Structure 1
Amino acid sequence: MFKVPDHQVAGHMAGAGALGPLVDDSGHFYKPLQSGERGTHEVAFYTSFSTDTRVPDQIRKFFPAFHGTRDLEASDGSGMHPHLVLEDIVSSRINPSILDIKIGSSTWYPEASEAYISKCLEKDRETCSLTLGFRISGLQFYGSKETGFWKPDRKSVNSFTHDDVRSALRKFVSSNSPTNSDIEPDCSYASIIYGGPDGILAQLLELKSWFEDQTIFHFYSCSVMMVYDKESILKGENPNPQIKLVDFAHVTEGKGVIDHNFLGGLCSLIKFISDVVTDPNK
């Protein structure tokens, strides 16, 4: 049984005659291939990445599992359409809190057309990408059974300032309501979600260590998804904080050169999160 994802926070969304991803009850996420070279490039990346012996096994956990492609009835009713079959990152979570963060001060790839570069550069300048090296593309934070989710619309998220980004990263790990702007985020879950040997910060640092050496790929317009279960904390269980890299339509060959664009954005994100861990009351 295919259905529209309940917890998608960014990207093309299905519904109202729009082409978007689907999920099933088996933990699979079906992403429609984008038109033209984008879809071809993304399939090629997943295919090569899944068999590339140069990629360490411990790094593969940061990428969704790839199960090939499959033709499905498109969500927009246009007929059969090829889809990537991927791991559904949030399928095992009931009310996940999610941050989708696009990494890099430049989201355009060198081989892109002038029109595409101009479009991306304009958005990079309008958002925090150019100045911070990353921007928040989408989010949903679970409050409680009474308040549900805080999920700002895309226009609001795209207009986030530096202070909004800092606030969002603090709200992500706070116990008090994210919807009330008058209440300062308490960051009471920072040590559990961001900190510790298995926390998000440790995972980002492991990923950073690889990017300091890897010259196989350059990841343009790729996102880091951060997710955890707030309800698990309330029950005294492991909230299982996790990061995954997603969106690989614009990955290019590294050609022996370090991906400084992605690495710089990743370092910037790590600094922001480290500040929350070391001084949650700031």
Structure 2
Amino acid sequence: MLKVPNHQVAGHQAGDGKLGPLVDDSGRFYKPLQGNKRGSNELAFYTSFSSNTRIPDHIRRFFPNFYGTQLVEASDGSGLQPHLVLQDLNFRRVKPSIMDIKIGSRTWAPQASEDYIHKCLKKDRETSSLPLGFRLSGFQIYQNRELGFWKPERTSFQSLPADEVKLLLRKLVSSNAYANLDSKPDCSFASIVYGGSTGILSQLLELKAWFEDQTIYHFYSSSVLIMYEKEFASNGKSPRAEIKLIDFAHVYEGQGVIDHNFLGGLCSLIKFISEILTIPDGCTTEASSKDIEKNQIYFENGTT
């Protein structure tokens, strides 16, 4: 039985007669195939990526599994419609804290129409995309059993300056992540979520290393999804900290050229997370020596 996802934080959402993705009980995510070039382009990317032997296995793990397409009953009541069948990234997660971060200072491709470029350029300038190289597209932060999730409207945070974006990245890994922006985050889970050999920073650095070489694809308006389980972290268990790349309606062939737009945004996000670990600025967490070393590597080899 298909149902509306419980933990979607960005993008088109199903419900109230609107077209959006659905999930089932077996761990699959059904994304409506848009009836324009975006839909065919995303399908072409997944088809190409899944069969491309030049993609290393350690990089494939950062992308959702692709199971083809299927006709299913659309969420808006329009009957059977084609959907991409993908991995449900939150399958069996209990109360995940999630952040969707759109990467790149430019969210439009040169191949796009003039009207679309103008629309995207306007939003890139009005949000943090242009100054920071990325913007927050949506998030939910699990607070506690009494308060549940903090999931604000996207319009309230997409245009925040750098210091407030960093504040939200701190709140994501804090035990006192309340909706009150004046509350000082304690970053008590930063070291086990962002840090460590398998943490978010390590995963981002691994992805960055691939983008420094890969010239197969150029990713425009794609996102990095950060996920972890705060309750697990609170109880001393593995927080299941993980990143995934999502949204590929605007991916084009790289034609032998490095994707500097995505790489630059990725480096900017790495810098923000590295500084939370290495320059706590009021947070209680201290960075490990390995995290500090990785941060130094970023500054030595970072790209524009």
Q: Give the alignment's TM-score, normalised by structure 2.
A: 0.91
1:129 equivalent in alignment to 2:133: no
- 1:132-167, Cα deviation, whole Å (9 max, x unpaired): 000000000001001110101121132322222111
> How much identity, in percent, do the aligned residues show?
66
CA drift of 1:173 comes to 0.5
- 1:55-75, Cα deviation, whole Å (9 max, x unpaired): 111100000000111111110
Match of 2:72 in 1: 72
CA drift of 1:48 comes to 0.8
Match of 1:234 in 2: 234
The 8 Å contact of residues 187 and 281 in structure 1, kept in 2 or not, is answered as no
What is the number of equivalent residue pairs in this alignment? 282
Q: Give the alignment's TM-score, normalised by structure 1.
A: 0.98
The 8 Å contact of residues 186 and 281 in structure 1, kept in 2 or not, is answered as no
1:204 equivalent in alignment to 2:204: yes
CA drift of 1:92 comes to 1.5
CA drift of 1:17 comes to 1.2
Return 5+ residue gaps in structure 1 as ranges: none
Return 5+ residue gaps in structure 2 as ranges: 283-304
Match of 2:162 in 1: 162
> In structure 2, what residue type is equivalent to 1:52?
N
Q: Secondary structure at the match of 1:197?
A: coil
- 1:144-193, Cα deviation, whole Å (9 max, x unpaired): 00111010112113232222211110000101132232320011111000
The 8 Å contact of residues 141 and 177 in structure 2, kept in 1 or not, is answered as no
Match of 2:82 in 1: 82
CA drift of 1:79 comes to 1.1
Q: Secondary structure at the match of 1:158?
A: coil
- Higher relative CO (Cα under 8 Å, sequence separation at least 6) belongs to 1
- 1:29-55, Cα deviation, whole Å (9 max, x unpaired): 110011211111111100110110111
CA drift of 1:197 comes to 0.2
Separation in 1, partners of 2:160, 2:70: 37
The 8 Å contact of residues 14 and 76 in structure 1, kept in 2 or not, is answered as yes
> In structure 2, what residue type is equivalent to 1:215?
T
The 8 Å contact of residues 107 and 221 in structure 1, kept in 2 or not, is answered as yes
Cα RMSD of the aligned pairs, angstroms, is 0.9
- 1:98-145, Cα deviation, whole Å (9 max, x unpaired): 000000000001111000000000000000000100000000000100
Q: Secondary structure at the match of 2:157?
A: helix
Separation in 2, partners of 1:210, 1:37: 27
The 8 Å contact of residues 127 and 158 in structure 2, kept in 1 or not, is answered as yes
